[in-house]
Each structure stands twice: as C-alpha cells, then as structure tokens.
Amino acid sequence: MKAALNARYSSTEQPTAYADITGYNNFYEFGTGKDDPRRNAHTLRPRPWSVTISGEVEVPGTLTLEDILAPHALEERVYRMRCVERWSMVIPWVGFPLADFIKRFRPTSKAKYVAFRTLHDPKQMPGQRAGWLEWPYVEGLRIDEAMHPLTLLAVGLYGRLLPNQNGAPLRLVVPWKYGFKGIKSIVAIHFTERRPPTSWNVAAASEYGFYANVNPAVDHPRWSQASERRIGASLFDATRPTLPFNGYAADVASLYSGMDLRRWF
C-alpha cells in the first residue's frame, strides 16, 4: 500500500515486530486467548464490505469499502498502543483521519457522540456463539474525540492490508485510550445526541468507563495501571511506566479540561 509517513503524529520508538502485532491480539469474536484471533480469524470475509452511516448527519447512507477509501490519501502513523491488560506495542498503522471521513456526512449540531458497531455474523465470527460479551461489539467517542487529528480509521499496518485478526477491513485507532476503544471490523457508524453504550462498559461498568483514557493514576479495580509490559522488548526493559494519555497528553489533555478524570475514567 502507498502511504506517506506522517512524522508529526508518529512515535520514533522501535515498532513492535509484525509477528507480535498480528499474533498477540484481543478479538473476542474469535476467542478469548491471545493467539485465538490469529488462528481463527480466517473465517472473516473482509471483502466485499460496506459501512452504514446514520443518525444526526445531513448525508446518511451505505458506502462500499471502495467508496469509503476513494477520496482519502493513506498515511502511515506509528502509534504507541496500550491495552487495559497492561501490555503495550508500537504499531505502524496505515489509514486516514476519522475527521476527514466524518466531514463527508456533514454532522448536525445534535451530533454530540459517534457510535461504532462491529459485524455481527456468527458464521464468520464463531466467538459470537459464546456469551463472553453482548454482540455485536459496540464502541463510542465524543464528537470532539472523533474529530481529533490523532483519531484514525486504519486499513493496514506495516504497509500491508490489515490482517483479519487486527480488524479487517476497517477499524478505529485512538492512541491515547486503552486498546478496547479501537473497535474492529466496523459495519456501522451512527451519530447521536446521547452517549452510546460501549461493550466493555456494559460488561463491567465498574472496571471499564466510557472514556477509557490511559491514566497511570487511576487503577483498574483488580490491578495497577502505573506500568506496562512492552511486547517483544528484552526482559530488562520490558516493564515501563505508563504515561498519562499514553504519552499523547500534549495533544489531547485539553479535550478533558475541567473534568475529574477519576470519576470520568
């Protein structure tokens, strides 16, 4: 894939190995083990694909993947990623800003939030036969978070099309939030005045908030979030301190000024 590096929004840290990025995943539609997505996601058919845009927009509709991609130049963005489970990676994503995509549909003044939905098809996603989560997987962002220049719709990594296990053909990437906000294999985007439900918040509201901003000062009820384990790093420097907003505070902290981030975790 042709994608120019966006240096302004890229980390200079060593990217995690392709084998780790594509072999150590969370994608519960294919099982709860870290190697289940790599082993099982071959049943997903990411082409042909379409995404439905609805709600508080002037131009709702259903777009094919080709329609979605046509007007956008692809960029490479090397982002630090931090899972709520205390592991982290550095991933060279290929994609385009979600803001540029959203502008095409002209959100109305009532569009305060954006809701995302993953495909629901137990034939392609056999994990959906189990009750680990309520299906389909859903996520949401406040509209200003969705329009932030760091927020990406990704279609590839390491210069190749997204492997199924990483959320082919289209997934969200929000680098200052815990990984679970990065919803995979998106089929619907809905604009709404009300805060939408999100899968992990529905599953365990005391453990996973709507905002899910990476915050070393707010522990998960069952573990500290003060440090993280960098996947693939040598034993001696694998454990690292976790940074506020995952290191993106200078870019995004202002979105939350005046909010008590212990209450709005």
Give residues in contact with ligand MTE (CB under 6 A). 25-29, 83, 118, 137, 166-167, 179-180, 182-185
Q: Are 118 and 184 contacting, i.e. CB atoms less than 8 angstroms apart?
A: yes
Indicate which of Mo ion, ligand MTE, none lies near residue 25 (CB less than 5 to 8 Å, by partner kind): ligand MTE
Strand blocks (E) in 143-253: 152-157, 160-161, 171-173, 186-192, 227-230, 239-241
Contact set for Mo ion, span 152-211 (CB under 5 A): 179-180
d(CA 191, CA 111): 5
Partner from ligand MTE, Mo ion, none binding residue 38, C-beta < 5-8 Å depending on class:
none
The footprint of Mo ion on residues 68-87 (CB under 5 A) is 83
Partner whose binding site includes residue 184, from ligand MTE, Mo ion, none (CB under 5 to 8 Å by kind): ligand MTE
Q: Least CB distance from residue 180 to ligand MTE, whole Å? A: 4
Greatest Cα pair distance, the chain, in angstroms, is 54
Rounded least distance, CB 83 to Mo ion, Å: 4
H or E segment at 51? strand 50-55
Provide the minimum distance between the beta carbon of 244 and ligand MTE in the complex, in angstroms, as a whole number: 19
DSSP letters spanning 89-116: EEEEEEEEEHHHHHHTT-B-TT--EEEE
3-state secondary structure of 16: coil
From the list ligand MTE, Mo ion, none, which binds 117 (C-beta under 5 to 8 Å, kind-based)? none
Least CB distance to ligand MTE at residue 109 (A): 30
Q: Which residues contact 51 (CB under 8 A, 6 or more apart)?
A: 62, 63, 65, 68, 170, 186, 187, 188, 189
Q: Is 146 in the site for Mo ion (CB under 5 A)?
A: no
26 binds Mo ion (CB under 5 A): yes
Give the shortest CB-84-to-Mo ion separation in angstroms: 5
List contacts with Mo ion (CB under 5 A): 26, 83, 179-180
